[in-house]
Structure 1
Amino acid sequence: MKEQQSVYSCVVDSDSSDGKRMVLSEGFYFVLVTNGTALVEDSYRKYALEKYDLLILTPSITVAFDTADTGFSMICVYIEPAYFDTLPDGQPMYNQLVRFLGSYTLPVLRLDSAGYAYLKQTLDLLLAGCPDSYCLNREGIGRHLCSFLLLQVANILHQDSEHTSVSVRRSGEVFRNFKKLLVEHYRTHHHISFYAGRLNISTTYLSRIVKRVTGRTVYFHVSEILCAEARRLLGCTDLDIKEIADRLGFSDQSAFGKFFLKKTGVSPLKFRLRKTE
């Protein structure tokens, strides 16, 4: 590990970790994955990291590396909070991080090959440290290298923010089209694969968008509209329960009964009897 003032940098790989669970906390960390994959978790969820991913941590965030494959390696730079506060270029980077703070989402950014190579050059310089012959300007060189790193990361965050704005607009469009399809087809199609297929996207992508926009799953939205229509048909029509099950696309009356009981806590028959009392 190289040390420059209150800045520490190292290379971590699956061999050097000795199978121990590595925890990062109470500092500013810049982690660039250079090979392989690993799982990292905070208090809310797990994230899969792979080559070209940049993870940025602030002192309020604690993460643990859960598992890593045998080829995993990363460069990690730690900046002590008190030292970070003395760097004039820390604030521009921190301003770009604000959108992540309080969102319960780790700042994990996917770099393109050029951005990855450019950032890695800076991290390699921090890893190498100053030669012994640079005793006169060692501190100044270290501070400038840190400032250069922070400005690079600020730019990466800014570019990602612009991309995210486009992504958010795209997410809203996909969600609106999903809801429109749902209203038209919920009686006959209960599965995410149908809606993803009609939207020409993967089921994983649709699931992620719906969850991001609403905090609920695709199945929740399907089941909510199905249950609302089931309540209406049970309470306002003379259709028998088997006919309602058929109309709502269930394989049989038993499947409909289990669905309705799970959603409402009562069977379709009990619900109908309550309405007639």
Structure 2
Amino acid sequence: MSDTVIQIKHSELFDVFVNESIEESFIASDNIKNILSSENIGEEEILNFPFRTNESIIIICVEGYLKAKLDTKSFMLEKNELLVIVPKQIFELKEISPDLSTIVYIMKTSFLDNNTSFFEAIQLQQHFFRENGIQIPESMMNEAITIYRLIKQKLEEKGMFSRQIIQQYINVQFYNVYALLQQQNTQKPAVRTHTKEYIFEQFIRLVERYFREQHKIGFYANRLHLTSKYLSAVIRSASGLTAGQWIREYLIIEARALLKMGKMSIQQISNELNFYDQSHFGVFFKKYAGCSPRAYQKT
């Protein structure tokens, strides 16, 4: 895996996909390689490079498969499966089948209108059930392909109400998947609140929310009304990693992304991630990333 986290710059994307986008807020494409490639990373070099975006991305696998990593989770996306990447997540392609065919949508928050329930359901699916891909029935898949073709027509026309029409097409896709997701989740066995799986999922949710400010296990144990010793034992049993390792994993992922984005100084990143000072941050980063923050920025 490359240590570099590439920030997807949508100003560049909209320049490249001018015929496949609208008002610099929405892109529809059938080539995931083109979406992820940039001036620095060619189409044939995108494997094993982490990408990060501030927008929402939907990937629908039409044929073939891809193997990838989303934040800390590795998975395979196969035919008739859909993946949603929410803002701030880090996505890394590991393998692409020769026959891979996809539908890819990239949407700014301003384009999404009132679809917060859909993305809340997606995050529930990812965090609580540890599933990234959503399996789509054949009939819904055929409809998704039809919707994509209709969207492409409107993008080519660029008529007066193209944006509004495309938004409604996307809403149809959202509500189809949302209904499917709700149905699938109600069919899953209830997770009792005292099981280790439930505790692990609640712990991960807390880490994703607070890891920038809170690095100590005790904080998470208190929020879950458990002792630090018991929480540590449960997390190791449920995941194979200690609670401290999970917190460090999220800190390192965030630190790498911030360092490569180049918008903040090392001191500012140290403050952002709530380290005592820049020196402590440097020692932490070198121990777990293998080089100093400054050396990492220059790679």
Unaligned runs of 5+ in 2: 1-16, 38-42, 196-234, 241-299
Q: Distance in 1 between matches of 2:143 and 2:190?
A: 25
Q: Distance in 2 between matches of 1:53 and 1:167?
A: 24
Please state if 1:10 is matched with 2:38. no
**SS in structure 1 opposite 2:45?**
coil
Match of 2:168 among 131, 144, 148: 144
Cα 1:76/1:131, change in 2 over 3 Å = closer
Q: Distance in 1 between matches of 2:127 and 2:117?
A: 18
* Paired AA for residue 165 in structure 2: I
Aligned 8 A contact 1:24 1:62 in 2: yes
Aligned 8 A contact 1:33 1:53 in 2: yes
Aligned 8 A contact 1:14 1:73 in 2: no
**SS in structure 1 opposite 2:168?**
helix
Q: Distance in 2 between matches of 1:104 and 1:160?
A: 11
1:215 paired residue number: 238
Q: Which has the bigger relative contact order, CA under 8 A and spacing at least 6?
A: 2
Please state if 1:76 is matched with 2:104. yes
Unaligned runs of 5+ in 1: 173-211, 218-277
Match of 1:156 among 176, 180, 194: 180
Q: Distance in 1 between matches of 2:26 and 2:34?
A: 24
Cα 1:118/1:24, change in 2 over 3 Å = farther
* Paired AA for residue 65 in structure 1: L
* Paired AA for residue 162 in structure 2: R
Please say which structure displays the higher CA radius of gyration: 1
Match of 2:70 among 42, 55, 58: 42
Q: Distance in 2 between matches of 1:124 and 1:83?
A: 19
Q: Report runs of 4+ in structure 1 exceeding 6 Å deviation.
A: 13-17
* Paired AA for residue 73 in structure 1: S
Q: Distance in 1 between matches of 2:184 and 2:168?
A: 24
Displacement of 1:10 after TM fit? 0.4
**SS in structure 2 opposite 1:56?**
strand
